[in-house]
């Protein structure tokens, strides 16, 4: 089932939490003088127009990035704000970066990027939006299968981002199994998994499974989306990390994860 379209949610509070955290992690990882492979199993379109009918329909960005820009709660040199500003200057003020562009902007030229996207239309948009970017490989492929096929990558030092759409309830179980498979194939990989907090409470078994797996440098952070104006099925979201580099958790607690 591929009916999810991120255009409805781009730049919303959940994206601010996820992308703010990702930017902090990438900014930290790029300080090491060793090339890196960035891999995403569920890449989306890479770039979003917040004036599109889909974004206008939900107005999620008003509660997310637009609120953040007005309130100026993050320091101007925060890597997330820097990527957002870069994209607004380059593509126009209504544009917002997806995680592929955040990675492209925060990584170095010698780093490699692999992006998997299964939806044919979204894959075409991703190709167009990342066109000409150096060392950026775009795969029209099932991310669960494609990521495992790439491991261990070259360069071996890697960050793997797993951001499924959780369209079916079984995807929580699949995501948990996937993180353990990645870790088994590549024990040093830094992994970041996003998950929603729904009123239906599908996430606790996923969190328990990973928390009980004795994964190295494991961390879990969640945010409640208190600024949404209508009661929603999704009341918050979370991130789980494996091999989170030393010092990043403190930075996330300081600025990256709690943007409001």
Ligand X SMILES: C[S@@+](CC[C@H](N)C(=O)[O-])C[C@H]1O[C@@H](n2cnc3c(N)ncnc32)[C@H](O)[C@@H]1O
The catalytic site residues sit at 163
Cα gap 187→111, rounded to integer Å: 20
CA distances 177 to 4, 28, 173, 247, Å, are 22, 27, 6, 27
Smaller CB separation from ligand X, 20 or 44? 44
Helix and strand element counts for the chain (H, E):
11, 9
Q: Which residue is nearest to ligand X (CB)?
A: 98
User: Judged by CB under 6 A, does residue 119 bind ligand X?
Assistant: yes
Q: Which residues, 130 to 149, sit near ligand X by CB under 6 A?
A: 142-144
The three-class DSSP label of residue 104 is helix
Site size for ligand X (CB under 6 A): 20
User: Judged by CB under 6 A, does residue 122 bind ligand X?
Assistant: yes
Q: Which residues, 34 to 63, sit near ligand X by CB under 6 A?
A: 41-44
Min dist CB 244 to ligand X, Å, is 18
Cα gap 7→10, rounded to integer Å: 5
User: Judged by CB under 6 A, does residue 218 bind ligand X?
Assistant: no
Structure tokens at 171: 């995807």
- Report the residue from 11, 12, 98, 196 that binds ligand X according to the rule CB under 6 A: 98
User: Judged by CB under 6 A, does residue 4 bind ligand X?
Assistant: yes
Min dist CB 94 to ligand X, Å, is 16
Structure tokens at 25: 């992690």
What's the Rg (C-alpha) of the chain? 17
Min dist CB 144 to ligand X, Å, is 5
Min dist CB 142 to ligand X, Å, is 4
Antiparallel, parallel or unpaired: β 234-242 and 190-198: antiparallel
Smaller CB separation from ligand X, 146 or 153? 146
Cα gap 18→24, rounded to integer Å: 10
Closest CA to 166 of 218, 228, 226, 234: 234
Smaller CB separation from ligand X, 53 or 247? 53
- Report the residue from 11, 60, 117, 179 that binds ligand X according to the rule CB under 6 A: 117
Region near ligand X per CB under 6 A, out of 78-86, 117-125, 203-211, 224-232: 117-125
Region near ligand X per CB under 6 A, out of 2-10, 72-80, 218-226, 243-251: 2-10
Tell me: cis bond preceding 152? Omega within 30 of 0 counts: yes
Q: Is 259 exposed, middle or buried (0-12, 13-18, 19+ CB in 10 A)?
A: buried
Residues linked to residue 221 through DSSP beta bridges, in sequence order = 239
Min dist CB 50 to ligand X, Å, is 13
Q: Which residues, 175 to 214, sit near ligand X by CB under 6 A?
A: none
Q: Dihedral angle at the C-alpha atoms of 57, 63, 64, 65, nearest 10 degrees?
A: 90
User: Judged by CB under 6 A, does residue 96 bind ligand X?
Assistant: no
Binding site for ligand X (CB under 6 A): 2, 4, 6, 18, 41-44, 98-99, 116-119, 122, 142-144, 163, 165
């Amino acid at each position: 089932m591929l009916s999810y379209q991120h255009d409805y949610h781009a730049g919303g509070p959940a994206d601010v939490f996820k992308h703010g955290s990702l930017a902090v992690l990438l900014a930290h990882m790029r300080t090491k003088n060793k090339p890196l492979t960035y891999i995403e199993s569920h890449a989306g379109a890479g770039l979003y127009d917040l004036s599109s009918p889909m974004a206008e329909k939900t107005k999620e960005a008003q509660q997310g990035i637009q609120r953040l820009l007005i309130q100026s709660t993050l320091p101007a040199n925060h890597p997330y704000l820097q990527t957002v500003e870069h994209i607004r200057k380059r593509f126009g003020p209504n544009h917002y970066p997806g995680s592929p562009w955040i990675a492209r902007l925060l990584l170095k030229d010698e780093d490699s990027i692999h992006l998997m996207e299964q939806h044919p239309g979204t894959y075409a948009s991703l190709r167009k939006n990342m066109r000409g970017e150096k060392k950026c490989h775009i795969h029209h492929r099932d991310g669960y299968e494609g990521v495992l096929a790439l491991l261990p990558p070259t360069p071996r030092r890697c960050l793997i981002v797993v951001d499924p759409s959780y369209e079916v309830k079984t995807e929580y179980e699949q995501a948990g199994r996937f993180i353990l498979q990645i870790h088994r194939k590549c024990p040093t990989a830094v992994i970041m998994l996003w998950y929603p907090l729904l009123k239906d409470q599908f996430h606790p078994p996923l969190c328990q499974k990973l928390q009980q797996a004795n994964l190295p440098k494991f961390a879990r952070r969640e945010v409640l989306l208190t600024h949404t104006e209508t009661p929603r099925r999704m009341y918050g979201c979370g991130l789980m990390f494996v091999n989170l580099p030393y010092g990043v958790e403190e930075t996330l607690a300081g600025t990256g994860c709690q943007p409001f």
